[in-house]
Structure formats: structure tokens, C-alpha cells
């Protein structure tokens, strides 16, 4: 069943984090912030919504970095119930797909909870003062990739943030698999 997160709460401040990267370093919010803003993505290895658009996520991350937007991906899923999302599998995916951005593991799920992440993928686009300006979809794809000429909603929104510091007023929520929360 698809989960749809809430739309942007403009100006909400990005919570800090200190998480291990698949490259071996511990990464903080300030380590990944770009001069024009930051994109925080909650993704995982197994979600069909993520896998359908992973090439587009990588493309948009590269294009946003060229605009001064820092990019980071975080996986917060419970690996007991979803072992395909394990840290070792995350590292393998990041290496195989040549991620140009850090892929972080949120084992405690504290970061996902602090952000209010609801699904994978869930995109949080921040301005250069780390105020939220975009919480919407990548494009109109669902669990199947849409046409290659779909409007790049995330890219266009973050390009606007890089230029003006403001995200678009009209945003369409992302859709994806629920975060796999640990049971108490």
C-alpha cells in the first residue's frame, strides 16, 4: 500500500544527524549542506517506488550538486524485517550505482522520526539556511517509472530554491512504501 507524506511546512528547520555512511565516515548535516541548499532523501534498497526511479534520483542529485545543492540519502528501515536494506546491501547498491552522494544508515530510526519521514522515497529540500522549501515528488512516476520526458518536479523546485531561496507554493506529495518501523 502506498503512503503519501504531508506537503511542505515552509521554513521548518532541518534536524541535525550523525550517521554512518556506506563509505565508512560518520556524516553530519553540516558535512552535506551545499552553498545553495540541501536535499535530504529517505530511500531504501528494496522499495519498488525507489527502484523505479533510482536512475532519475542519481541524475537529479548530480544536476543539483552542480547548482550548489548538497545531497544526502538516508535509509531508516528495520533490517530485521527487511534484510535487503542492511548496511552491507546499502554499501553494495551505492557502489554498484555509483552514488555521488553519501548514503547513510539510520539504525535507531531517530533521524527518520526527527524529519517525520513517512515513505521511501521522501524528499526534503532545504534552502541555504536549512529551512524547508520543498517536500514533494521526484516526478509523476509511481512504482513504475514514467516517461523519460516527465517534468522533473524535484529538480525544478530545488533549482528555484538555489536561485531564489524559495520553493514553489504548489507541490505534489511524493508516494512510496512506508518506512519499516521497528516494533517495540
Asked if residues 144 and 52 have their Cβ atoms less than 8 Å apart, the reply is yes
Given this model, what pLDDT does residue 99 score?
Answer: 98
Domain count, the chain: 1
Q: At what angle do helices 48-65 and 153-164 cross, to 10 degrees?
A: 30
The answer as to whether 2 is a domain residue is no
The answer as to whether 78 is a domain residue is yes
The answer as to whether 9 is a domain residue is no
β-sheet with 69-75: strand ranges across: 103-105, 69-75, 37-42, 122-126, 132-134
| 184 — pLDDT class (breaks 50, 70, 90) | low
Given this model, what pLDDT does residue 1 score?
Answer: 60
The answer as to whether 53 is a domain residue is yes
The answer as to whether 8 is a domain residue is no
The pLDDT tens digits of the residues spanning 75-107 come to: 999 999 999 999 999 999 999 999 999 999 999
The answer as to whether 3 is a domain residue is no
Give the H/E segment covering residue 163.
helix 153-164
CATH no. for residue 131?
3.40.30.10
The answer as to whether 98 is a domain residue is yes
Domain that holds residue 142: 18-178
Amino acid at each position: 500500500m502506498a503512503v503519501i507524506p504531508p506537503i511542505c511546512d515552509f521554513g521548518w528547520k532541518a534536524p541535525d544527524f550523525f550517521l554512518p555512511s556506506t563509505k565508512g565516515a560518520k556524516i553530519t548535516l553540516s558535512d552535506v549542506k551545499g552553498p545553495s541548499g540541501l536535499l535530504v532523501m529517505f530511500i531504501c534498497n528494496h522499495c519498488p517506488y525507489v527502484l523505479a526511479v533510482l536512475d532519475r534520483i542519481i541524475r537529479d542529485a548530480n544536476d543539483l550538486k552542480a547548482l550548489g545543492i548538497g545531497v544526502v540519502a538516508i535509509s531508516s528501515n528495520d533490517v530485521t524485517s527487511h534484510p535487503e536494506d542492511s548496511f552491507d546491501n546499502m554499501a553494495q547498491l551505492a557502489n554498484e550505482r555509483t552514488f555521488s552522494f553519501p548514503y547513510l544508515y539510520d539504525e535507531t530510526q531517530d533521524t527518520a522520526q526527527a524529519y517525520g519521514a513517512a515513505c521511501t522515497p521522501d524528499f526534503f529540500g532545504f534552502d541555504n539556511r536549512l529551512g524547508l522549501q520543498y517536500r514533494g515528488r521526484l516526478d509523476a512516476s509511481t512504482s513504475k517509472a514514467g516517461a523519460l520526458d516527465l517534468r522533473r518536479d524535484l529538480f525544478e523546485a530545488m533549482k528555484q530554491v538555489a536561485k531564489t531561496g524559495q520553493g514553489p507554493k504548489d507541490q505534489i506529495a511524493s508516494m512510496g512504501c512506508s518506512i519499516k518501523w521497528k516494533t517495540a
